[in-house]
Structure 1
């Protein structure tokens, strides 16, 4: 109770000293990042962002509260007393999952209610940036990359980055099937393997990472003719 009273006294003191920089607009408190003032005709009204959000002071013509990761509070380090609930350290915002092993999941808290959300395959939740990130780029040191999945034929996505013909990293690289010119593999986000197949009449070209005319793919020029011959042989 003493702590709450002390915070209220600090806010009251700051409010008493505040003066509108302009006659109209929305202006931050110099000390508390989730406290701001609405000025109209030179008179101000004190307002608080919802718990977990802070005031974005970039544009005095707009009233905006956002997650701390998107706002530079600078020296405005004070915050209102938190209103925690199970899964939510504060009533609003994005937070790491309560299960320390669930690195690829997080909570979006809205008015104290946690909503569980998944990260895309291969990513983990980085609570410093309030977003999902690659383990190598995340500030979290308690999480490692998940074990890579493999398909029923044994294919799994390689760990190294794959770059296209223009030298850029491919977000969803594709790979040729070892035995079938028409088939290929897709690695979603570079880690989640899936099977793919070119439309009838085309084959996969591993040089262009796309389906192509058989005549442009060495070793697959007679793919469809050979399939017809094999089919006739089986029927005979």
Structure 2
């Protein structure tokens, strides 16, 4: 009697052999493969069935919920270093996960891939994407090379100074402020030292660069008469050049 050996028969035989090599614990449940981080076994009545996490995710035996597949940066795979072959789609190296921009010089953008569909996300200005943590971090922490420097410029041409600003103790100010060069009422704030914001004091006050806060005009040299020419309409003061 001859037996017809089909592809399905071979696959079933291989899967059966692989399952036979894994011994289920006494308690039914899901258990990690000892070598492959995105592979696990579903044990029912002591019989193991090999399964794979969606491409890009890995198995975390410590998760209490039913779905134990998670992002690689959330899971300690230990010696489980093997992974299933990637299934790239478009800009996604794998179907699921957070991945750096395909242009290695673009460090402030990354992709969130879900089932092969991607969404481009930009980091907060001044930060770089780090694949090891799946988050945006300071450039020094990301350690990426060849990144383009992105300068954030307001409509009036202001950009945050590269050298930053230090306080009286010589410590770098996280969100430094700078006086506007021609408008006593306005000032700039550089968020994290790199992202500029154009702000203004309330009517009747001017920005005091020395105290780094809004103040009465008489306390700021050169701005004493800022509201003098328009006392009847203080909400719309006439602009003057700072001396």
For the pair 1:75 / 2:74, whether they are aligned, the reply is: no
Q: 1:22 to 1:172 in 2, by over 3 A?
A: farther
SS across alignment from 2:77: coil
Deviation at 1:204, TM superposition (A): 3.2
For the pair 1:88 / 2:84, whether they are aligned, the reply is: no
In the alignment of these two chains, the number of paired residues is 222
Task: Check whether the contact 1:128–1:139 (CA below 8 A) recurs between aligned residues.
Answer: no
**For the pair shown, which has the larger CA radius of gyration, 1 or 2?**
2
Q: Look up the match of 2:220.
A: 219
What stretches of structure 2 of length at least 5 have no aligned partner? 1-9, 232-237, 239-243
SS across alignment from 2:230: helix
Deviation at 1:154, TM superposition (A): 4.4
Measure, in 2, the Cα distance between the counterparts of 1:168 and 1:40.
Answer: 61
Offset from partner CA, 1:150-184 (integer Å, 9 cap, x none): 44554321224556789986554332224443211
For the pair 1:200 / 2:203, whether they are aligned, the reply is: yes
What stretches of structure 1 of length at least 5 have no aligned partner? none
Q: Look up the match of 1:181.
A: 184
Q: Look up the match of 1:159.
A: 162
Task: Check whether the contact 2:110–2:122 (CA below 8 A) recurs between aligned residues.
Answer: yes
SS across alignment from 1:229: coil
SS across alignment from 2:132: coil
TM-score under structure 1 length normalisation: 0.75
TM-score under structure 2 length normalisation: 0.73
Measure, in 2, the Cα distance between the counterparts of 1:90 and 1:153.
Answer: 43
Measure, in 2, the Cα distance between the counterparts of 1:169 and 1:14.
Answer: 58
Deviation at 1:56, TM superposition (A): 1.8
Deviation at 1:53, TM superposition (A): 0.6
Q: 1:68 to 1:198 in 2, by over 3 A?
A: same
Q: Look up the match of 1:16.
A: 20
Offset from partner CA, 1:44-89 (integer Å, 9 cap, x none): 4433211001112224565322221221111101111211112111
Deviation at 1:205, TM superposition (A): 4.4
Measure, in 1, the Cα distance between the counterparts of 2:105 and 2:30.
Answer: 42
Task: Check whether the contact 2:107–2:144 (CA below 8 A) recurs between aligned residues.
Answer: no
Q: Look up the match of 1:56.
A: 60
Relative to total residues, which structure has the larger helix share, 1 or 2? 1
Match of 1:104 among 90, 99, 108: 108
Task: Check whether the contact 2:184–2:206 (CA below 8 A) recurs between aligned residues.
Answer: yes
Offset from partner CA, 1:15-39 (integer Å, 9 cap, x none): 3232334514432111110112334
Q: Look up the match of 2:131.
A: 127
Q: 1:152 to 1:51 in 2, by over 3 A?
A: closer
For the pair 1:116 / 2:120, whether they are aligned, the reply is: yes
Measure, in 2, the Cα distance between the counterparts of 1:169 and 1:28.
Answer: 47
Q: CA RMSD in A?
A: 3.5
Which moves more between the two structures, 114-123 or 99-108? 99-108
Q: Look up the match of 1:229.
A: 228
